[in-house]
Structure 1
Amino acid sequence: MILLAIILAVTAFVFAGFAVWPAARLRPRWLAPSILAGLAGVAGATYFAGAQPQAPGVPYQQAAAERMATNPEALGQAAQMERLRDILRTDETDAAAWAQLGRMLARSERELEAINAFQRSLRLELNARTLSDLGQTFINLNDGQVTDEARAAFEEAQRMDAALPEPGFFFGLQAFQSGDIDAAETIWLDLIARLDDRDPYKILISEQVFQLLSQPQVNAEAVEAAAASEDFDPRQRIADMVQRLEARVAAGDAGFADHLRLIRVRGMLGDNEGGMDALQAARDRFAEREGAMTILDLLAAALQTDEGQGE
């Protein structure tokens, strides 16, 4: 405010004048404090009469009005988040706005802010999707590990909406991370079987499950020790792994994950024919498991595409 600035400037000027005035010894001691107190009183009255300490400035109001008048899809990510903050400055009880802000913050890798936004939304209104998003944000914050906090969010989300696919996937991931591959396999295959064929999550989850279950099981310490030896031959180690997997498959002792590992390693070696043979063995073994067949169908399509490109 201009008037307030002028008053403050006069105050500073008067104070400086009293400090350097040659006749300072002649002035009454009460004069300077009285003048300063009077000016301060005028400044305070002026401020409280015309100021609005909690109100946004005019430039902000103009920018907010422009954001609100614009289609959100036409705004950049930062402007979209600021638009949501505009809404929440007006109404802090808008649970949907808090949830959407949380999603945008999570996509921006601002997990702590996202968690706060999700929790504020959930305090206003429990919502299965928001709970699931909160669980995923806890996982992202913890470098991909399914923590107890994340599991609790997923359990509540699943209780509220059993059709949500994400909780089941992350329950399986927690089992996988703990080393219980069989439990993870069961959870994931049952989940894939429950999903509708038109649900895009069915393909996404199937692809992710293949990537996880087909990871070779290796002892990191043993591999490190072997790599340090003079006779270490990585090709021989791969050949030995393939031999062990083929022996399990032939004996009927291989689980679904073993079949996937064999298919994957064949593909990594460029042995498409061997990969197709391993795929057919898996189809014969798990013909009654709908979830397994969904993954195998995707692999068959991928292998056929690779064969076509190689011709």
Structure 2
Amino acid sequence: MIVFTLICVALGALAAIWLARPLLGEGGPARMVGLGAGAVLAIGALAAYAVNGMPDAPGAPYEPRMAALRDVDPATLSPAEQEEWLRDVVRREPADLDSRRLLARYLASTDRHLEAIAHLEQALRLRTDARLLTDLGQIIMELNEGVMTPEARRAFRAAHDEDPARPEAAYFLGAAAYEDGDRNTAAAYWGGILARLEADDPNRMLIASRAADLLSRPSMGGGDPAALTEGAERPDIEAMIAGMIDGLEQRLDDDPHDVSGWLTLARARMMQDDPASAARALARGRAVFSEDPGARALLGALGDAFELEETDA
């Protein structure tokens, strides 16, 4: 069979050259070389197939193979079979958004982010869904190596608008606000998550710990901290830092509704090796935000990280 195919291809190439003879006189040797090269390439491709191809191998019809996979518990399938199983479901039931979402997440986990994004966008044309939008935002960030692109931000915003109770989109929107330097908005998003989650939810503890750590870090307003103390002696540096911390405390006396400010003050007092003042700062913050469970959770998380006992303001 292979020999017969090679003979047919060779005859076809010779026939093409014969039919192109009228053109050869116009193009000269260069056109002859081009036609000859095309014939050689065609014959070479068939020769490679003759060596490596397996035309006699038994086929694997699609439908019987998929019918067998459908009768098996998906959890027992290999990753490649699971992908094939999901693709089959999506092909047969295009409106099955859960299967399309699972397929998109699997594709993203195997570095096929663009195809994953395409599946999520197709699903969103059928129905707007907060989980799909959140997954879309996350996969766009993964594609861009963790950068919060405008497209990812829009996806998270749409997810949060669709279902404000879901924590995932709010977490990423808080992270975006923090990157923008808007700590109050970040604290509002993260505190809102903590207020809705149960006290014993492990995700609540993780989010509270991470958010409290970020919000307690000193903000230099985009400046270079080293530039503030460049050329100063150590006693002068310590005095400058102490003055900045006292200034922060004075600002909180004037405007106490700043949970990030109380967190930063507590961390700063701990850096001064003054845990009593750190505990007082957290206590004052809890008193200010007595009606805000999310803010109190952030303050409590930092106290737990520093192993400080809760005290009254």
User: TM-score normalised by the shorter chain: which range applies?
Assistant: 0.5 to 0.7
Offset of residue 118 of structure 1: 1.0
Which residue pairs with 1:42 in the alignment?
none
Which residue pairs with 1:39 in the alignment?
none
**Structure 2 segments unaligned to the other structure (5+ residues):** 16-57
Q: How many residues align?
A: 265
Question: Counterparts of 2:228 and 2:125 in 1: how far apart (Å)?
Answer: 54
Question: Counterparts of 2:212 and 2:79 in 1: how far apart (Å)?
Answer: 33
Question: Counterparts of 2:62 and 2:275 in 1: how far apart (Å)?
Answer: 62
Which residue pairs with 1:276 in the alignment?
279
* CA deviation map 1:254-291 (0-9, x unaligned): 72101111233445666544433332232233223211
**Equivalent residue in structure 1 for 2:260, among 257, 262, 265:** 257
Task: Rate the CA distance shift 1:107–1:280 in 2: closer, same or farther, 3 A.
Answer: farther
Say if 2:166 is the partner of 1:164: yes
Offset of residue 60 of structure 1: 8.1
Task: Rate the CA distance shift 1:272–1:104 in 2: closer, same or farther, 3 A.
Answer: farther
Question: Counterparts of 1:75 and 1:272 in 2: how far apart (Å)?
Answer: 55
User: What are the equivalent positions in structure 2 for 1:40-59 lying under 5 Å apart?
Assistant: 57-58=59-60
**Equivalent residue in structure 1 for 2:6, among 2, 5, 9:** 9
User: What are the equivalent positions in structure 2 for 1:205-216 lying under 5 Å apart?
Assistant: 205-216=207-218
Question: Counterparts of 1:66 and 1:235 in 2: how far apart (Å)?
Answer: 73
Offset of residue 134 of structure 1: 1.2
Task: Rate the CA distance shift 1:70–1:208 in 2: closer, same or farther, 3 A.
Answer: farther
User: What are the equivalent positions in structure 2 for 1:116-127 lying under 5 Å apart?
Assistant: 116-127=118-129
**Equivalent residue in structure 2 for 1:189, among 188, 191, 198:** 191
Question: Counterparts of 2:79 and 2:233 in 1: how far apart (Å)?
Answer: 51
Question: Counterparts of 2:277 and 2:110 in 1: how far apart (Å)?
Answer: 43
Offset of residue 250 of structure 1: 5.3
One-letter amino acid matched to 1:286: F
Task: Rate the CA distance shift 1:182–1:86 in 2: closer, same or farther, 3 A.
Answer: same
Question: Counterparts of 2:76 and 2:274 in 1: how far apart (Å)?
Answer: 48
One-letter amino acid matched to 2:285: A
Say if 2:295 is the partner of 1:292: yes
Which residue pairs with 1:33 in the alignment?
none
Question: Counterparts of 1:109 and 1:267 in 2: how far apart (Å)?
Answer: 43
One-letter amino acid matched to 1:101: L
The answer to whether the 8 A contact 1:189-1:292 is kept is: yes
Q: Secondary structure at the match of 2:225?
A: helix
Question: Counterparts of 1:204 and 1:255 in 2: how far apart (Å)?
Answer: 22
Offset of residue 210 of structure 1: 1.5
The answer to whether the 8 A contact 2:257-2:288 is kept is: no
TM-score, with length taken from structure 1? 0.64
Offset of residue 249 of structure 1: 4.3
One-letter amino acid matched to 1:96: D
One-letter amino acid matched to 1:299: L
Which residue pairs with 2:52 in the alignment?
none
Task: Rate the CA distance shift 1:259–1:79 in 2: closer, same or farther, 3 A.
Answer: farther
CA-based RMSD of the aligned residues comes to 4.1
The answer to whether the 8 A contact 2:100-2:119 is kept is: yes
The answer to whether the 8 A contact 2:74-2:82 is kept is: yes
Offset of residue 247 of structure 1: 3.9
Which residue pairs with 1:173 in the alignment?
175
**Identity of counterpart residues, as a percentage?**
34
Question: Counterparts of 2:243 and 2:116 in 1: how far apart (Å)?
Answer: 47
The answer to whether the 8 A contact 2:104-2:119 is kept is: yes
TM-score, with length taken from structure 2? 0.64
User: What are the equivalent positions in structure 2 for 1:1-311 lying under 5 Å apart?
Assistant: 3=1, 5-11=2-8, 57-58=59-60, 71-75=73-77, 77=79, 80-88=82-90, 94-108=96-110, 110-197=112-199, 200-219=202-221, 221-226=223-228, 229-231=230-232, 236=238, 239-249=242-252, 253=256, 255-267=258-270, 272-304=275-307
**Structure 1 segments unaligned to the other structure (5+ residues):** 19-55
Question: Counterparts of 2:204 and 2:143 in 1: how far apart (Å)?
Answer: 25
Q: Secondary structure at the match of 1:58?
A: coil
Question: Counterparts of 1:70 and 1:110 in 2: how far apart (Å)?
Answer: 26
Higher relative contact order (CA 8 A, sep 6+): 2
Which residue pairs with 2:53 in the alignment?
none
